[in-house]
Amino acid sequence: SLVARRLAPNRRVLCAAPEYLRRHGEPRDLRDLSRHKLLTAGPQIIWRMEGPEGPVTYKPQSILQTNSSEVVREAVVSGMGIGFRSTWDVGTELKPGVLKRVMPAYSGASDVNIYAVYSGRRLVPPKVRAFVDFLVGLFGSEIPYWDRDIGPMVVGGTREG
């Protein structure tokens, strides 16, 4: 009995701090990732990506034990390793170069999105409808504000943006 309204795509990228990449080098392909320090939150068991060969999954071995996405974000920014982060979370660090995209031919699965979920009652309260409409206006483009100026994304093996 719930309604889900799509607000925006939830794009994910592999990224690391430039200092980490200076010390450890940049991975060139998925096999290279196993030689790097990877950072994930507990629930992120598998990285679902799309790349030149189509959809792929990668099971990272994290050097960090946490269930906090915020802790992983801060660890990536501080140079501890490579993370697979949503662009809404790290877009402000990608734009000025605080973080750098790693293996840009790979990005998160294109079928992951951000939704507003609310009660599917017949009469939705006006304040709920107004709030959801506000979010649609704020995020509701194919290229949300946090994805602008961070470079093209791979979607289904082709570049977008």
pLDDT in tens, 108-140: 988 889 999 998 777 888 999 999 999 988 886
DSSP code per residue over 37-61? -EE--TT--SEEEEETTEEEEE---
73-84 pLDDT, tens digit each: 999 999 999 999
- pLDDT in the model for residue 73: 95
Query: How far, CA to CA in Å, does 13 sit from each of 48, 86, 88, 129, 150?
Result: 11, 6, 10, 32, 10
Q: What is the pTM of this model?
A: 0.84
DSSP 85-146: EEHHHHHHHHTTTSSEESSTT-EE-TT-EEEEEEE--SS--HHHHHHHHHHHHHH-SSS-GG
Do 161 and 153 form a contact (C-beta atoms < 8 A)?
yes
Q: What integer pLDDT is reported at residue 111 of this predicted model?
A: 87
- Residue identified by tokens 């607000």 is 7
pLDDT at 72: 94
Along the 161 residues of the chain, how does pLDDT read in single tens digits? 888 999 998 999 999 999 999 999 999 999 999 999 999 987 667 899 999 989 999 999 999 988 899 999 999 999 999 999 999 999 999 999 999 999 999 999 888 899 999 987 778 889 999 999 999 888 866 788 888 877 766 554 455 55
